[in-house]
Amino acid sequence: MLSRKLVCVMRNTVLCATAIFSLTMLCIGQEDRPFYYYGDQKIYLTPSTSTVAAKIQPSLSTTYQTKYTTLSNYFRALDPSGSRPDLRILVSKNDASSTKATAALSTGLEAKEIFKVPVYKIGKITLVVQNEMIVQFKPDTTENTREALLKKFSNNYRHIDGTPEKYLVTLGNPESTLRVSNTLHDNHSVEYAQPNFLSIVAPIEGTHWNAPDVPENSPGPLDASPGNVSVAPSDPLFRRQWNLDNHFGNAQDGKASADISIIKAWNKTMGSDQIRVAVLDEGVDINHPDLVNSFAMQDGKVVQWDAILESDSQQPAATESHGTRVAGVIAATANNHIGIAGVAPGVRIIPIRMGSREDSADGVWTTPLIVDQAIRKAIQLGADVINASWQMSKADVVDGAIQYAATKGRNGKGTVVVCAAGNDGGPVVYPAQLASKFPIIAVGATNSWDDVKTRDSKDKETFWASNMGSELTVVAPGVGIVTTTNHSVGGDSNNDYVYDFDGTSSAAPQVAGVAALVLSVHPDWTAARVREHIANTATKLGTGQHSDQWGFGRVNACRAVEALNCN
C-alpha cells in the first residue's frame, strides 16, 4: 500500500508533467504560426479565411483582364506601386466567398500565369504579402557586406531615401517573403528586415447619410481680426458644430461646456498662413468650395503629393472622402457664408495621399513604405503639423519616419504628429501607441455630454468606442462632427458636407488644428513643448493627472493659445 506522502508526490508529479506538456504544446503551436519581426518582437499572423489574393505574372499584366474575364466578378485589382501593373495584386471582393474566388483563379494557377499570395489577419487589419521587403542595415556595415548578403536572396534591390543602409528588396515569389525577411533580421549586420505588406484596414465611420435641413445663418458677420471674435461666424453650418463652441444654439444634446472653446481662442489667433498642416490620408479634394483657399501654395499651384503614384498632383476618387473630411475639420474657411468653419481656418493644408479605398470596398489599403515616404515628403514640403487619422500594422520603417518627423522636422524643432487612437474600444492602435516612445500626440474621442465615447455612452452610437491606454495624450469631440466631403458627389452640391463624421478620425484633426494655432502664436516651440502644453492646458474630465480613458483631458483651444477668459 502506497503511503500518503508517496501518493501526494505522484499526484503532484502528474499535475506538473501535465502542465509542462500543455505549456510545451502551447509554445510549439505559437512558434509554428507565421510571424514577422517588429524590432525584436515577433508579430504572429493568422491566415485569413475570408480573403484570397493573387498576383499576375508580369508578362500578362496588360492582358489578364481579357484572358481571365471572370476574375472581375470576384476580385478587385490593387496597384500598390501606383504605375506598375506588373506588381498588381488581385484581392477578393468582400461579397465573394474564398471558395468561389479560388475557383475563378484555377485556370491561371494551372497555367502558372497567376499565383496565389499569402494573406493574413491581425485583428481587423488584413495583410497581403507582396514580394517586397524593407531592409535596414546597421550604420557600420560596408556596401560590399550589404550587397553580398542581399544577393544571396535577390539581385533586385535599390536604396530608399538615398540612404546607403536602407533598401527595398524584390523577391521572385511572395511565398518566400516572410522566411527571407526573418532570416535577414537574424543577421548581425541588419537593423531590421520586414515585409512591405499591402495593408487593408476596415474603416469605422458614421452610416447615417441623410443630412438634416441646413439651419439659417448664424449671427454675424464675424470680424476675423484677432481680439474681435464675439459672435459666431457667418458659416451657416456653424450652428451644428457643437464640438467647436456650442454657445450659439448648436443642434446637439449634451453639456454646454463639452466643446473645445474655439471662439475665445480665435480672439487670440485664427491661425497663421505660415503654418502648414499635412493631411496624410486617402487624398483631399482641392476643388471643394470651403477648402479651395485653405491650401499651401507655391508658384500658383497647390502644394500636394501622391505617395502612391509618386506625383505632385493628387485627387481622391469619389469613394475616398476621408481626407477631405479631416481637412475640413482642421482648416475649412471661416466667415465665407458657406458650410462650416475649421478649427484653424487661417493655416494652410498640404494634402498627401498615402492610402486608397478605390477598388477596395473592404477598407483603405497602403504599405509601410508608402507611409514612410509620405511622412518624409511632408517634412520636405514644410509641414509643421501632421495629422494621421488611420491605423496600420506595426512597422519599423514607419517608426523611423515618425521619429524623424517628431525630432528632425521643422529644421530640428520637430513636426507635431497627431494620431487617432482607434475606434474599437480596445488598446491604442499603431501608430498612435508610439506616443509612449516619441513626442507625438495620441487622441481619443468624447461625445457632447463630455463623456469618453463608449459603446453604451449617451450618444447611442453602439457601433464604435474610443480606444484607451496609457499612451493616450488628450481627447476631443468625435461624435456627429459636421465637415466637408468630396465636392458635388453625384453632381449635387448639397452633398458637399456630412453631418456624422464619427470616430477618433474626427477627434485627431481638432487637436491638429489646435496644435497649428499654438504654433501660430509660438512658431519657435519644439514639437515636444507643443505636446506638453496641449496636455497641460487640457480640461480635466476626472480626478488625477492622467487617465487611460481621457489622457490628460479634453483639448482646450482657448487655454492652449493663452487667450483671455478661458473656461
Find the largest Cα–Cα distance for the chain: 99
Q: Are 368 and 166 in contact (CB under 8 A)?
A: no
- Euclidean distance between the first and the last CA atom of the chain, given in angstroms as a whole number: 82
Q: Any bridge partners for residue 5, and if so which?
A: none
Residue 441 belongs to what H/E stretch? strand 441-446
**SS3 track for 106-127:** HHHHHCCCEEEECEEEECCEEE
CA distance 486 to 285: 6
CA distance 502 to 499: 9
DSSP string, 84-111: -GGG-EEEE-TTS-HHHHHHHHHHHHHT
CA distance 194 to 179: 10
CA distance 246 to 259: 7
Give, in degrees to the nearest 5, the angle at Cα 140 between 137 and 145.
65
Sign for the CA dihedral angle at 22, 23, 24, 25 comes to positive
CA distance 419 to 103: 41
Q: Look at residues 381, 386, 380 and name the one whose alpha carbon lies nearest to residue 327.
A: 386
Question: Quick one: cell of 2?
Answer: 502506497
The CB-side HSE value for 303 (13 A sphere, CA atoms) comes to 20
User: Which letter, b or e, does each residue of 420-430 get, where b requires 16 or more Cβ atoms within 10 Å of its Cβ?
Assistant: bbbbbeebbbb
Under DSSP, the state recorded for 131 is: S
Sequence-ordered alpha helix ranges (H) in 296-345: 322-331
Q: Which residues are catalytic?
A: 281, 322, 505
CA distance 498 to 321: 10
Sign for the CA dihedral angle at 295, 308, 79, 399 comes to negative
CA distance 239 to 245: 9
